Structure 1
Amino acid sequence: MPASPSTARAINDRLALELLQQEGPLTAGQLKTMTGLSRPTVADLVERLQESGLIQVVGEAGAARRGPNARLYGIVADRAHLAALDVRTESVSVVVADLLGTRLAEATLPIGGEAGTGPAVEQAANLVERTARNAGATRLHSVCIGAPGLIDPASGELRATTGLPAWHRRLVAALQERLPTGVIVENETNLAAVAEQRLGIARDRDSFAFLWLGHGVGAGIILDGRLRRGASGGAGEIGFLPVPGTAAVPSAVDCDGGFHSLAGSAAICALGERYGLRGPAAGDHAPPAAAVVAAALAADERAFLDDLAGRLALGAAAVASVLDPGCVVLGGEVGHAGGDALAARVEARLAELSPLRTEVRAGGLGGAAVLSGALLTARESAQREIFP
C-alpha cells in the first residue's frame, strides 16, 4: 500500500533533516540530488521546514558562478539544548550542547565520599544547572547520564549496586524533579561503545566487543550494528567473569576474584609496582592505571606490557569465544594509554587462546567516550521528538 501524502511528507522531511544533520548546510539543489526527490517536492519541504522553525538560511553557495547564489539551508541549532553527564565514583562531568552536537559549555566537579548523599546530589544537580546557564540554555530538552552499574531494561532506572555511591541513583531522581525534561540513564560502558562505533575507531565495524578499562572493567557489545543489553541489562559485566590467575572466584555481590582482579585499575597499578613502575606524579591528573601503562611504554618495559596483555587477553578470549565479534576494542583510559602497542600484544596473545580470528584495536576516544556517547544519545532523543 502506498504511503499517504502526509506520511510521505513526514518521510521526506526527516530524510532532508538527517542529511542536513550529517552533511551540514546544503542547497535545495544538493538536497534534490541526495534525496532523489523532484524540485517541486524539495521546494515544498524546504518551505515547510522553515515555517516549522527547524531549518533556516545560513549562507549562500556558488559565489564563483554566474547568476544568483543558491541559498544554504541548515538546522536551527538552538532549537534544542542537550546535556550529557559522565558520573564516576568520585566525580561528575557535564557537557551542554545544541541540536547539532556543538559543545557550548563543559564542567567537571570532584565529589568525595565524605560529602554525603544529599550534599553530593545537590552539588551535581547545581553543576548541571550552572553549566546550562553558561551555555546560554534556558531549557534542556534532553539529558543523558552515563553511570556505572546496571540499568533496569523495564524501568530504565539505575539499580542499587554494591560498591557504588548512593548519590548516583538519587541524582537521577533529582534531575527529573528539577528539570522539565526527560532524563535518560545508560551504562557508561554501553555509551562508550556507541561513541567508538559512531565517532571512534570502530566506525567500519557492524560487530565488535568494547572492553572498558578504567577504574573498573566492563564490556559493551555491538552486534549487527546494534547495542546489546541482555535480558536484565547486564550484558558485558565482564568484571565478574571467573578467570584463571586470581586467588578466588567472584560472588553475586563482589567481583573480586573475577576479571576485575586482573584488569581493574588497582590490579594494574599493583602489577606496575612489581616492575618498578609508578602511577602519576604529583600534579599529574592522569588516572593511575593509565599513567602506569604510559610509563611502561615510555620505558619500553616489555615484560610488563606482555604480562598485562596476557591478562587482558583472558577476558577478550572469553568474549570472543561466546560472541565471535571479529573485533575487540580496548577502551577507557587504559586502552587509550596503551594504544596500538598494547592492542597488538593482546591480539597476539588472543590468537594463542582462541581459534576465532579476532582483531584487537586501541580505542580512539579514551575516557571522553562516555560523554560523547551520552551526547549522541541525548541528541537522538531530542531529534525523535522534534523532527517530523
Structure 2
Amino acid sequence: MERPIAGPQSLLRALNGRAILEALGRRGPLTRAELMSETGLSRTAVTQVLRMLEGHGAVAPAGVDRDTRGPAAGRVALHPRLGFAAAVHVDHHAAHVALVDPTGTVRAEQHGAFPPRADRAEHIASLVDACRGAVSGPLLVAVVAVPGIVTADGGIRDDQGPDGGAFRTALAARLGCPVRVENDVNLAALAELTAGVGADLSSFALLLLDGGLGAGIVIDGVLHRGFSGVAGEVMYLPQTPLPIGAPVLGDTVVGDLALTHGRDVEAPLGDHLEAAAAGDAAALAMAAEIGRRLTVVAGTVALVLDPEAFVLSGTAAHPVLVDAVERVAEEFAAQLPMRFLVSSFGPEAPLIGAIGEAASALRVRLFNDILPATDRRRR
C-alpha cells in the first residue's frame, strides 16, 4: 500500500486514521508492526494515530502476540463496545438473525419461524433483541435479505404486492437504527463474489432455488441489480411447453410434478431429492425435469449475458440436481457450452452475504463517527 501523501494535518490524520481503522476492522487485532505492514505507515505515524484513537475510546489493547520470534508485542483491536450490526435473512417461513462486529465475526444468533399472522418487522426485532442480550454495545445498522424485488428506496415487491418501503421503515423505527433491505439472491451472489466460488470469476450468474427460483448476476465483478431491481427474476422466463407467465420452478411447480409422478404433493423438494438419491424412480424423474428447467433457464441467461459460469445455490446445489443439470448441459454443449459450479455456502449463502454487507456498513458507520470526533478533539 502506498504511503499517504503530505498535506494538511487534519487530512493526514483522517487518512491515516481511516487506514488503521480499516485494517483493524478487516483483520481483527494487530500489532503495531502488522499495522505498519498493512497500511504502509511509519512506526511514528501508527503510534500517533493509535494514541489518538485510544483517547477517543475507538481501540483497546487485545492481548499480546506470542507466535512470532522476539519480544512479545501488544495487539490492539477496535473497542468491543463500539457497536454491532444485524444481518438478517428472511424467507417465507422464518427469520435468521446474526449480530456481527466490524470484522464480520458473528457474536450472537437467533432463528425463529414466523408465528401465524405475525408482523414480520416485530418478529425480526424480537430476535434482534434476544441477540442483544448476549452482547454489550449499541446496534448501529442492519442489513436484511428478503425474497422478492427490492427497489432502490428499499421497497419490497413480493407475493403481498409492493410495500413502498413500509417494512424497512417499520423495522428501522423498531430497531432504532438505519436498515438496508436487499434481495436475498443478490446477497447470495455477493457472498460468492467476495468469499466463495465466484471470487476468481469476472462474471457469473447465481441460480438459487428455494421457495422459488432467482438469479444474482455479477458482471465485471459488480452486482447487477437492474434499473428497478428486477434483474435476476428468472422464475417466469418463457419456457416451452409452459404458458407465458407460468412459473418455471418453485413450491407450486414441485407439487404439480409430484402429483404427475405419483409422489406426495405436500412433501418439500428436499424430500423428493433424498428419495431420488436413494434410487426412487419417480423422484429421479422429478429431478430430471427440474434439472432440465434449470438448464434451460441458464441457457436463456447465457444467450443474453454470456457469463463465465453459473453457480448453483440453495436446493439447486443438491448433488442430485447438480447431476441432472450437468447431464442436460452436456446435451447442449455443442451449441451452447455452459460451466456450472456449486455454491460455497449452500442454503446459508443469503445470510453469509448479509453478514458481509452488514460488517462493511458497520465499518463505514464507525469510521464516519470516529474520525470527525477525533479531529474535533485535536483542534
TM-score normalised per structure 1:
0.82
Q: What stretches of structure 2 of length at least 5 have no aligned partner?
A: 372-379
2:33 aligned residue: 29
Distance in 1, Cα, partners of 2:321 & 2:289: 16
2:123 aligned residue: 123
2:232 aligned residue: 236
- CA shift for structure 1 position 329: 0.6
Where 1:202 maps in the other structure, the secondary structure is coil
AA of the residue aligned to 1:102: T
Distance in 2, Cα, partners of 1:61 & 1:51: 23
Where 1:240 maps in the other structure, the secondary structure is coil
Any conservation in 2 of the 1:312–1:346 contact (CA below 8 Å)? no
- CA shift for structure 1 position 365: 1.5
Any conservation in 2 of the 1:336–1:363 contact (CA below 8 Å)? no
Distance in 2, Cα, partners of 1:109 & 1:166: 25
- Which residue, out of 180, 186, 191, partners 1:184? 180
Distance in 2, Cα, partners of 1:264 & 1:26: 47
- CA shift for structure 1 position 367: 2.0
Could you report, residue by residue, the CA deviation over 1:78-104 in whole angstroms, capped at 9, with x for unpaired residues? 311111222222322222222222223
Any conservation in 2 of the 1:343–1:361 contact (CA below 8 Å)? no
Residue 2 and residue 323 in structure 1: after superposition, are their counterparts in 2 closer, same or farther (change >3 A)?
farther
Any conservation in 1 of the 2:25–2:102 contact (CA below 8 Å)? no
Where 2:289 maps in the other structure, the secondary structure is helix
- Which residue, out of 317, 322, 327, partners 1:335? 317
1:375 aligned residue: 355
Matches within 5 A, 1:1-388: 4-62=8-66, 65-66=69-70, 68-111=71-114, 114-115=116-117, 119=119, 121-133=121-133, 135-137=134-136, 139-153=138-152, 155-159=153-157, 161=158, 163-164=159-160, 170-246=166-242, 248-250=243-245, 257=246, 260-261=247-248, 263-271=249-257, 274=260, 288-299=268-279, 304-336=286-318, 338=320, 341-342=323-324, 344-345=326-327, 347-349=329-331, 351-352=333-334, 354=336, 357-387=337-367, 388=371
Could you report, residue by residue, the CA deviation over 1:111-151 in whole angstroms, capped at 9, with x for unpaired residues? 25x526xx554434323323322x33453111111112222
- CA shift for structure 1 position 224: 1.5
Distance in 1, Cα, partners of 2:202 & 2:93: 34
Distance in 2, Cα, partners of 1:108 & 1:63: 37
Could you report, residue by residue, the CA deviation over 1:253-285 in whole angstroms, capped at 9, with x for unpaired residues? xxxx1xx33x2233235435655666898xxxx
CA RMSD in angstroms comes to: 3.0
Any conservation in 1 of the 2:102–2:360 contact (CA below 8 Å)? no
Distance in 2, Cα, partners of 1:271 & 1:320: 26
Deviates more, 1:378-387 or 1:333-342: 333-342
Distance in 2, Cα, partners of 1:84 & 1:63: 33
Percent of aligned positions with the same letter in both sequences?
Answer: 32
Residue 322 and residue 6 in structure 1: after superposition, are their counterparts in 2 closer, same or farther (change >3 A)?
farther
Q: What stretches of structure 1 of length at least 5 have no aligned partner?
A: 251-256, 282-287
Any conservation in 1 of the 2:295–2:325 contact (CA below 8 Å)? no
TM-score normalised per structure 2:
0.84
Distance in 2, Cα, partners of 1:54 & 1:188: 33
Distance in 2, Cα, partners of 1:374 & 1:168: 22
Could you report, residue by residue, the CA deviation over 1:144-194 in whole angstroms, capped at 9, with x for unpaired residues? 1111222221x22224x4x23899965433222222210111111111111
AA of the residue aligned to 2:148: G
Count of equivalent residues: 362
Distance in 2, Cα, partners of 1:245 & 1:352: 23
Distance in 1, Cα, partners of 2:363 & 2:334: 46
Where 2:333 maps in the other structure, the secondary structure is helix
Any conservation in 2 of the 1:335–1:366 contact (CA below 8 Å)? yes
